[in-house]
Every structure is written in C-alpha cells, then in structure tokens.
Amino acid sequence: MKIKRLDKILKEMESKNIPQMLVTDPAAIFYLTGKWIHPGERLLALYINLNKEHKLFINELFPVHEDLGVEKIWFNDTQDGVEIVSRYIDKEKPIGIDKNWPARFLLRLMELEGGSAFVNGSEIIDRVRMCKDDEEKNLMREASRINDIAIEKMIKLIPQKYSEKKMAQILGEIYEELGANGFSFSPIIAYGANAADPHHEPDNSIVKEGDSIIIDIGCVKNSYCSDMTRTVFYKNVSDKSREVYNVVLEANKKAIDIVKPGMRFCDIDDVARNHIESAGYGKYFTHRTGHSIGIEVHDFGDVSTVNTDRIEPGMIFSIEPGIYLPGEVGVRIEDLVLVTEDGCEVLNKYDKELIIVE
C-alpha cells in the first residue's frame, strides 16, 4: 500500500466522520496499491477503515501474486462476493461508497444491512488524488516530455498530406517508438472546417492550403496521462484565422499567468473567457477552460465557471481555451500546468506561437 496516500485519505475520513469505506474505482485502487486490476463487470473492492484493518476483495479470475501490503480476500463466481465483503464491515457504523460502484452491488449490500448508513465517499479520494506527490509529478513531467516530442513529429508529417485517420494511426506508432503505453484518449486530428468541432473524430479528410489543423493528443506513460493541443496552419493563414489564433493564444497565456495557490478555478476560467469575449468571440468558446489530469486523463475537478474550489500546490490541470467558427476554422491551444508554491510550472514545452507548415 502507498502508506502516505492512504494516511491522507484516512485523515479526511476521520474529519468527515466516515469510519470505513469501500474503494471500488480501479484507478483509485491503483493509486493506493500500485497495482492495476481490471475486473470488468465483476466485483473488486478495497475496504479501508480508521482501525487500519484493510482488506482487498478480488475474484480468483484475477490473480495478484505481489505483496500489496494489504490482506487479500479471495472469492469466485460461485460465491456471493458482496456477502463476503459484508462480513468484514462494521454494520453499526456508516460506510463510504465509491461513486462508480454498480447499483447491483450497492443494493445487495444494502439488503445485507452492511452499514448504518451509506454515504458518497468518492470526493475524499478524488480530492486527495488532485494534489500530486513528488513521484506523480515526475511521472507527469515524463508523460508530457514524450507528448512534446510526439507533437513535433506529427507537425513535421503534415506536408505528407496524410488523412486525419492516417495521422492518428501514425501517432500510435510514434508513441510506441517513444516508449509510451498507448493513448490517454482518442486523438483529435482535425483539418479546416473539421477543426470547428471541438471533439471531431478523425476521418478521411485531407489537409488543404489555408487550413487550420488542430492536433489534440495524449499518451499514457507508467500509468500517468499527458494531454496537449496545438493548432498550426498549412501553407498560409488568413487575416481572420490569424486574429482568432492570437486571441486564443493570449487567453491561454493570461490564464496560465494567474495560476497560483488560493486562486479559484472559476477565476482562471473567467480570465480566459473574458479575454475571448472582449475580442467578440465569446459565443464561439463553447467548453470549459480545462480539466484535472493524472492517472486518468479527466481526473476529478475542472477549470470552469461553476467550480469555486481553490487551487493548491501539486494540482495538475489543463488550460485549453478555444474558438470554433462553424464551417470555417477552429483554434485550441492547450498546456498542462503543475501548481507550485507561488505559481505554476508549464509541463508542455513545445512552441505555441503561430506556425505555418510549408
């Protein structure tokens, strides 16, 4: 078990009067044990309590031979796994439940009266995971370093005039060559008018002169994710597209400049959004300014108008303002930032000044 991480969670449980909890999100279990277990539709649960009598409940179909620092309780498909879990729960006390635990398991535990009350315990783990420790920071730096190299290679391929789909395929090969463990999300490669769709799926489009090209990519390295976006232009750029690009770039820079402990996430969003609105493009900035990232590409927390939480050292999130003019052009510029004691460290180093690919 990752003792320091576990101790932070136990401390939060105590402060919220939650004496016991079932952790069932595989990402959260990895965070605490260092072991990925993918149970599919089957039960997997890490039981933790303030008495430190922790148990990991695993189906025999998923053998774990390593010593994870926690007692393993095995069961198989012929047994009622939830009933086995319930034997170890203090039924006289409330229990925290993970937000993604399937209802069929929770309902069965409720039938067994496995706790005096059932409360959402996810936010405790989510908030601890938001602040990365030194090991995680270095893993995130390495994932972003690989992404910087990958995006440079992708931009150099543009003159080959591969389709969007082909570019996405080549990206997978690039990541493999660089030692990454695959995509952190399905890459977005969007040419011209396609770039005006923030979540465009690569198709057979071929780049044309004057197109904006959005490249939004990320990889997984040692179980941690990277994510970045750059927008470049092919052969030339119109005055309108140049203006849009410069507005987005300035919004990105202004938002990054104010990142420091104590700022609210919504304040960061406001800086980017207000700049874009003041330039007359407010209605074309159609998404939040960013999201948290770590073990999952979209970790708990975001940079949005409705998130009034204050940022803390160790948090890592994206800053990715964009402008999308339907049928014309799309521009998004995204960097990951790591909050430091007095500001932030930008994890992406690749140039974001306007680039015209010849």
Task: Report, as an integer, the average pLDDT of 258-262.
Answer: 98
CA dist 182 and 330 (Å) reads 26
The pLDDT score that the predictor gives to residue 130 is 98
pLDDT of residue 231: 99
pLDDT tens profile 235-257: 999 999 999 999 999 999 999 99
**Tens-digit pLDDT profile for residues 200-212:** 999 999 999 999 9
What confidence tens digit (pLDDT) does each residue in 61-104 have?
A: 999 999 999 999 999 999 999 999 999 999 999 999 999 999 99
pLDDT in tens, 15-58: 999 999 999 999 999 999 999 999 999 999 999 999 999 999 99
pLDDT at 118: 98
Encode pLDDT of 332-350 as tens digits: 999 999 999 999 999 999 9
- pLDDT band, very low/low/confident/very high, at 126 (cuts 50, 70, 90): very high
pLDDT at 200: 97
Q: What domains appear along the chain, each with residue ranges and CATH number? A: 3-129 (3.40.350.10), 134-356 (3.90.230.10)
- Give the pLDDT band (50/70/90) at residue 11: very high
* pLDDT (average), residues 227-232: 99
Taking residues 97-117, report their average pLDDT: 96
Residue 113, Ramachandran bin (φ over 0: left; ψ between -120 and 50: alpha; else beta):
left
CB atoms within 10 A of CB 243: 16
pLDDT of 183 reads 99
Q: Which amino acid is at 142?
A: E
Distance in angstroms (rounded) separating the CA atoms of residues 135 and 319: 23
Question: What pLDDT shows up at residue 68?
Answer: 97
Q: Is the dihedral of CA 319, 300, 129, 184 positive or negative?
A: negative
| pLDDT attached to residue 286 | 98
pLDDT of residue 164: 99
Query: What order of strands is seen across the sheet that includes strand 188-191?
Result: 188-191, 212-217, 228-234, 356-357
Residue 296 — very low, low, confident or very high, per pLDDT cuts 50/70/90?
very high
Looking at residue 117, its pLDDT comes to: 97
134-149 mean pLDDT: 99
CA distances to 100, 140, 166 from 173, in Å: 33, 21, 11
* Distance set, CA 306 to CA 7, 54, 119, 287 (Å): 30, 36, 24, 12
Q: How much is the pLDDT for 251?
A: 99
